[in-house]
Structure 1
Amino acid sequence: MARIYSASYLPLPELVKFAFFANLSIVGMNVSLMWNSVGFYQIAKLCIIPVLCILEILFDKVRYSRDTKLSIVLVLVGVAVCTVTDVSVNSQGLLAAVIAVWSTALQQHYVHHLQRKYSLGSFNLLGHTAPAQAASLLVLGPFVDFWLTNKRVDTFNYTSIVTFFIVLSCIIAVGTNLSQFICIGRFTAVSFQVLGHMKTILVLTLGFLFFGKEGLNFHVALGMLLAVIGMIWYGNASSKPGGKERQVYSTPSEKIQKHGILSSQSELDQKV
């Protein structure tokens, strides 16, 4: 167990910022689904990938190859074709979707940033952030819920079945967060989002297998095929040299030092 979880440090300001982005992501996604149609909710989820690409380009100086960009586009098109049906949105729903997309992207980008900057493992980061998230949502959640629905959480009829599924969802949420931290720490947030859409494909496939093939038609099957091809293409393209790499810029002093070393080596070669 000591190998899985070891002593680590995360500054309080960093923890507060992470908890803010993470909580805003949870609330934003749920409110977006509540105020928008399922089709527009799916479109909003797809927008997380390009936003994450922008964040990686701006803050991590990541450069994508042409094949990597095209594979991401193919995944987005495929998932959109097989999941987006009815699309309806209003002003407040659009605002909720924008908040949900940017907060989710910032939270997932921040996971990679914190793990790299403070050398945190997945269990370490979860151990730091989960209590802060749970405490803040426990305090603020009832007020936000009442503001959105005009209903108090303590007046709900909590039967044994409801309580069981609440506890089960909490356990699954912990596992989901841990898998997210492991994947983002191992790869990047963009890779996590791209591969995460495989879950959508599996859900659709299992639904067709267990509940009949009424919803299976040509454009859904085509979208699933395009998405899977895009994911495989992304994996191959991003793993190649230059497919997805962090650009390193030398400081002026480093350039002078490097130039000086090269000049000295050139003079030495000429003397020899």
Structure 2
Amino acid sequence: MIPVVCVMEWILHNKQYSKEVKLSVLVVVIGVGVCTVTDVKVNAKGFICACVAVLSTSLQQITIGSLQKKYSIGSFELLSKTAPIQAVSLLIFGPFIDYYLNNKFITNYKMSTAAMLFIILSCSLAVFCNVSQYLCIGRFSATSFQVLGHMKTICVLTLGWLLFDSELTFKNIMGMVIAVLGMVVYSWAVEAEKGSSSAKNIPHVKSSLTEEEIRLLKEGVDTTPVKDVELGESKA
């Protein structure tokens, strides 16, 4: 998803990335791919849903950052305006998408107390996730949010191994190490890019008076008659 965000920012906002940033993003993508990708199976429905999810999420994250910068509004203010729209759209389109994927409507699912509790817990965690998303994108960028977001993947794998005794292979560990290394390099590359851009924006300070202006001032002083204050006379 990181490459898609980078390409869309370049297309929509003509954002340029340094070689260091591109290299660090590539390292993060390789690391996450190594530790998460196992058996790859592709079907039409899954491919379509994946493409729509990646494109829509990338566009949403880029729009969040551009709106905050364009209108100088805070993360919570923007979230309060967009959250109702997102909720209504999910209520309208969600059941039909579920039916397209599972051939079952949500009404066919038998609700239980445990299911309701986990739904409430999931919604509560989603609120905190959205808040952190808006805060991070408003402070940094959509690309930075994606890079930092992959730390969540590493935490999921680690907690799964610690709490649920999930298998953690050498391949997973190497992928996590590569991903963390890419995040560190990305942080350094972004700071270096900011430093170089700020240095270019500093204007060259020059003297307020040029040599020609100084020469003309000297000639004017030499040719201006000096007035004798005491006698009230002018001396050439």
Give the TM-score range, shorter chain: 0.7 to 0.9
How many Å apart are 1:94 and its aligned residue?
2.0
Superposition RMSD in Å: 2.4
Residue matched to 1:270: 212
Match of 1:223 in 2: 175
C-alpha contact (below 8 Å) 1:65/1:244 kept by paired residues: no
Aligned twin of 2:25: 72
The AA in structure 1 aligned to 2:173 is A
Which structure has the greater CA radius of gyration? Answer: 2
- Once the two structures are superposed, residues 236-272 of structure 1 have per-residue CA deviations (whole angstroms, 9 ceiling, x without a partner) of 11111457969x9xxxxxxxxxxxxx9xx89x54343
2:190 alignment partner AA: S
Normalised by the length of structure 2, the TM-score is 0.79
Match of 1:92 in 2: 45
Q: Distance in 2 between matches of 1:168 and 1:244?
A: 45
Deviation at 1:106, TM superposition (A): 0.6
Does 2:178 match 1:236?
Answer: no
Checking the alignment, whether the CA contact within 8 Å between 1:52 and 1:109 is kept in structure 2 is yes
TM-score, normalising length from structure 1?
A: 0.69
Aligned positions of 1:138-149 closer than 5 A? 138-149=91-102
User: 3-state SS of the aligned residue for 2:16?
Assistant: strand
Q: How many residues align?
A: 207
Does residue 81 (structure 1) correspond to residue 23 (structure 2)? The answer is no
Counterpart contact for 1:72–1:234, Cα < 8 Å? yes
In the aligned structure 2, how far is the partner of 1:164 from the partner of 1:180?
A: 24
Provide runs of 4+ in structure 1 moved above 3 Å: 241-246, 268-271
Residues 205-256 of structure 1: CA deviation (Å, up to 9, x unaligned) = 12222333x622222211111111110110111111457969x9xxxxxxxx
**87-96 vs 141-150, greater mean Cα deviation:** 141-150
Which digits, 9 at most, give the CA deviation of each residue in 1:18-42, with x for residues without a partner?
xxxxxxxxxxxxxxxxxxxxxxxxx
- Distance across 2 between alignment mates of 1:271 and 1:164: 80
Q: Output the amino acid matched with 1:124.
A: E
Partner of 2:219: none
Q: Which stretch of structure 1 is more off in the superposition, 90-99 or 105-114?
A: 90-99
From 156, 174, 195, the counterpart of 2:148: 195
What is the deviation of 1:117? 1.2
Aligned position for 2:64:
111
**Partner of 2:137 in structure 1?**
184
Name stretches of at least 5 consecutive residues in structure 1 with no aligned partner: 1-47, 249-261
Rounded to whole Å, the distance in 2 between the matches of 1:81 and 1:148 is 28
The answer for unaligned runs of 5 or more in structure 2 is 201-205, 215-236
Distance between the aligned counterparts of 1:244 and 1:121, measured in 2?
Answer: 28
The sequence identity of aligned pairs, in percent, is: 49
Q: Is the 8 A contact 2:68 2:74 kept in 1?
A: yes
* 1:136 is aligned to 2:89: yes
Contact 2:18 / 2:193 at 8 angstroms: preserved in 1?
no
Residues in 1 aligned to 2:195 and 2:22: alpha-carbon distance in whole angstroms? 9
CA 1:242–1:64: 2 relative to 1, 3 Å: farther
